Amino acid sequence: MSALGPYAAYLPLAGILIVVVGFWLKLNPMLVVTVAALATGLLGGMDIVPVISAFGKAFNDNRIIAVVWIVLPIVGLLERYGLQERASAVIRKIKAATAGRLLLIYLLFRQCTAALGLISIAGHAQTVRPLVAPMALAAGETDKGGELDEDSEERVKAMSAGTDNVGVFFGEDIFIAIGSIVLIQATLAGYGYDLRPLDLAIWAIPTAIAAFLIHGFRLLRFDRSLRRRRK
């Protein structure tokens, strides 16, 4: 690495390139992220054993991931007894409901709860698949009447998942005890910038507001595109 001179410090960034290329080629996300993490550690000068140890420590420190194995059977049981159908029926009774408006409300809910540190209160498995997406589909169908074609249905599902991502991503940094805030603080401290977690959380608020306005505008435009594509 020393032969590369000043460019050696940039080699660990190859992990980002691996993620981008891997996702572009639609490879297994878990495999792509694992290879990228290993490459980043090795190119950063770490031995293979400390890199793998870091994986194990991260998994042990974040054992909340085991909650998924409790949530999924519950969601499956609720779906078996008609959770999606009941959620869709409720939305169809609301004449003013549209897919964009419903997702806008969910975006606000997701950002507010994430800002309070309630990251696991919602998510793709817990709420998007069993509740939000079916309700958004029902709202799209009842918006001035008419069924959605297959492509439009897939777009509604994708927008539902994307709305969850935007809400939690830009909302969680407002919570001072979230891991991303701690990581940012530690990184800046390494460069001599001593900032409190509260300082970082406060400056995350304008970004969260901007994300809500921008994605909210996209959701309202999304309604118009659905109307044009309806059968």
Rounded to 5 degrees, φ, ψ at 95 are -65, -30
The whole-number pLDDT of residue 1 equals 45
The whole-number pLDDT of residue 57 equals 74
The structure's pTM equals 0.65
The whole-number pLDDT of residue 71 equals 63
Closest CA to 120 of 77, 175, 69, 67: 67
CB-based burial, 123-161: b 16+ in 10 Å, e otherwise: beebbbbbbbbbbbbbbbbbbeeeebeeebbebbbebbb
The whole-number pLDDT of residue 185 equals 77
Q: Which positions of the chain have pLDDT values less than 70?
A: 1-8, 59-79, 81-83, 143-145, 176-177, 229-231
The whole-number pLDDT of residue 7 equals 63
The whole-number pLDDT of residue 213 equals 96
pLDDT, one tens digit per residue, over 166-220 is 999 999 888 866 777 777 777 878 888 888 878 888 888 999 999 999 999 999 9
Cα dihedral sign, 39-41-46-49: negative
